[in-house]
Amino acid sequence: MHSSNLPRRTSNSSINLPIHFVSGSFSGQTLRAELSEIQKADLGRKYARVDRRPLDPPPVVLLKLYHVFNHGTTTQYEREIEDYSEVNTLGLLCNVDLFPAPAAARDSQRIITYFCDQPVTEDMNCTTALSGATFIQPAAIEYQSRKALVFPFADLAVKTEGQFFLRYRCFDIFSRTSGHGDLPIQAECFGGPFRIYSTKEFPGLQPSTELTKQLARWGVRLNTRETERKRKRKDDDRSSSSVGRMTQARTSKTSDSDDS
């Protein structure tokens, strides 16, 4: 996904940089992780307890891992892991944060990204408006003719209307690293924008994407649709009811005539 409207990072932290592991699945190795959103949500309906509709299509991020050799030297180089089916994913998690699309420029020293050239700050974080699983484990699927690790957020819903985007962060809760006192965030990326509609304004759902269908074939629990699902309008309901009443009346008259 390449667009000037997509958020872009400004932080100069160690996120997305090589990390040396001293325990866990990658003990003794130096790795660099990379996240990218390969399917963004387009829309959603405002969350309601009696009618909870997740974002559609479900957002999906791809995780790539690179072995880093000769780290910190002039001969440093890296090589992507060839077979992701051999990666021990126990403890590997991705979490998601919600941010509103900024409406005006903000004066702050805590700018974390830019959205449509407008600064986004950490204090704009509105993840409390999310419902559903915000921490998930990766799924191993076939993607672009090879095994891949993806994080599909299949049941996220938003409690307020408006335009938003997501921030994804990946980390390993069972591994420890050198030079980091706390659990480091290995990779981070920002997703594309989507809109949350009210129930009255919600336009309906498009057929499921090929990636969504692929995830379902690989055992990921999510909803799939072969055809477009438009919102049923009240006018349509009244029309259907009127037709039904007229048909019922005709049937009743016909039945009375037959009896006489």
User: Would you state the pLDDT for residue 111?
Assistant: 87
CA distance 204 to 120: 30
Strands 139-143 and 30-39: unpaired
> Token match 């944060």: residue?
97
| pLDDT tens for the 260 residues of the chain, in order | 445 555 655 444 679 999 999 999 899 999 999 999 999 999 999 998 777 789 999 999 999 999 999 999 999 999 999 999 999 999 999 999 999 998 766 666 688 998 888 889 999 999 999 999 999 999 999 999 999 999 999 999 999 999 999 999 999 999 989 877 678 899 999 999 999 999 899 988 888 999 999 999 998 888 777 766 565 555 554 544 454 555 455 545 545 555 55
CA atoms within 13 A on the CB side of 3: 12
Among residues 142, 140, 130, 211, which one has the least CA distance to residue 168? 130
End-to-end CA distance of the chain: 72
CA distance 58 to 136: 13
CB 35 within 8 A of CB 187: yes
Structure tokens at 59: 């957002």
Can you name the residues that pair with 172 across neighbouring β-strands?
A: 92
Structure tokens at 60: 């999906």
Can you name the residues that pair with 12 across neighbouring β-strands?
A: none
User: Would you state the pLDDT for residue 107?
Assistant: 64
DSSP category for residue 56? B
How far lies 234's CA from each of 102, 161, 179, 228, 238, in Å?
A: 34, 21, 61, 19, 6
User: Would you state the pLDDT for residue 240?
Assistant: 46
> Token match 């335009």: residue?
163
User: Would you state the pLDDT for residue 141?
Assistant: 94
CA distance 54 to 217: 19
How far lies 111's CA from each of 64, 117, 121, in Å?
A: 26, 12, 4
Can you name the residues that pair with 146 across neighbouring β-strands?
A: 143
Among residues 168, 169, 231, which one has the least CA distance to residue 198? 231
- Residues across the chain: 260
Can you name the residues that pair with 120 across neighbouring β-strands?
A: 113
Structure tokens at 165: 């985007």
